[in-house]
Amino acid sequence: MTILLKHQPWNVGGDPDASEGEIEWNMWQRRLLPFQQLDVGTRVVLVSGGGPSAGVLTWEVEVLDVVKERYDDHQHAARLIQKLGISKTAFLSTEYTTNAPTSGWLLSWTYRPVRRIKQPRSPEHPIGRNGWGAIDKLVVSGNGASGQGRLDDPLLRRKVELAAMALVRQWLIDQGHSRRSIRNTSAYHPYDYEVGPEHAPKLRVEVKGTLGGPGPVFVTAGEVRAAREDGIRTVLAIVHNLELTLRADGTWTVDGGHLWLDDPWMPSDDALQATQFRYEPDYNP
């Protein structure tokens, strides 16, 4: 099994959403990759335009239906692809079809979006001249970027968070704290770990995980307030250079990571930059 990459040169910005049932096709004089590999259920990663080694990994999608047949002329290809729901007129009027070989092989497919990736493409994500690539696993990293980027997909975001949490928990154990003294408080407090007796904790840790290298991270007002005002030593633990990996079976894993500590963490105003405000309109002037 392999993961397929599909270049979308018209998607230069990498922003448009993927739509269920969207149809794509290729028309070749001979059967090129992935004519044999593309089947219902195959995972494909869409790649935006931007050049041979640029672009963005935009979406992970799953193939819903495939038509791959030899066609004798464009009219024949139009009849074959109608099974996927595109009209003959729409198919024949596209610039791609107009410029395609008069006869050859049609590879057409529809897909459903699985999750938004929206991370930089790297040289390890090769794409051939026909707009397709194939790899055993897709590794997503910061690709030279620094700091905590945004992951739109909640599953990927949570996996990065949990990987960072696990690495920091192991660091706490290595520092001599017993497992029973380390409490995960991330669900109900503005810090991720508290260490020591509940009535008199000795330490709190706020954890941040990022695919990029060392750089800025996002902190909430509650996290800053807890570090400044509660009188308990707080550590900001940043796990950077994590790697997300999509495997051929469709599972995502997180590996790697380097730990950096701000100990004690007492965030100053100079180190904070406002990126969002809470505004309360006056509805009763």
Q: What are the helix (H) ranges across the chain?
A: 74-81, 88-93, 95-99, 154-174, 221-229
Residue 271: pLDDT above 60?
yes
pLDDT at 130: 94
Percent residues over pLDDT 90 in the chain:
75
HEC string for 202-253: CEEEEEEECCCECCCCCCCHHHHHHHHHCCCCEEEEEEEEEEEEEECCCCEE
Distance, in Å, from the CA atom of 234 to the CA atom of 241, rounded to the nearest integer, reads 23
Selection from 87, 63, 49 nearest residue 3 by Cα:
63
pLDDT at 7: 93
pLDDT in tens, 34-80: 999 999 999 999 999 876 667 889 999 999 999 999 999 999 999 99
pLDDT at 11: 73
By three-state DSSP, how is residue 269 classified?
helix
Distance, in Å, from the CA atom of 29 to the CA atom of 237, rounded to the nearest integer, reads 55
Res. 14 pLDDT band, cuts 50 70 90: low
Mean pLDDT of the chain: 91
Distance, in Å, from the CA atom of 168 to the CA atom of 160, rounded to the nearest integer, reads 12
pLDDT in tens, 125-177: 889 999 999 999 999 987 656 667 778 899 999 999 999 999 999 999 999 99
Region class of 245: left (phi > 0), else alpha (psi between -120 and 50), else beta? beta
Selection from 34, 184, 58 nearest residue 113 by Cα:
58
Residue 246: pLDDT above 90?
yes
By three-state DSSP, how is residue 181 classified?
helix
Distance, in Å, from the CA atom of 215 to the CA atom of 213, rounded to the nearest integer, reads 6
pLDDT at 282: 82
Selection from 159, 272, 174, 157 nearest residue 221 by Cα:
272
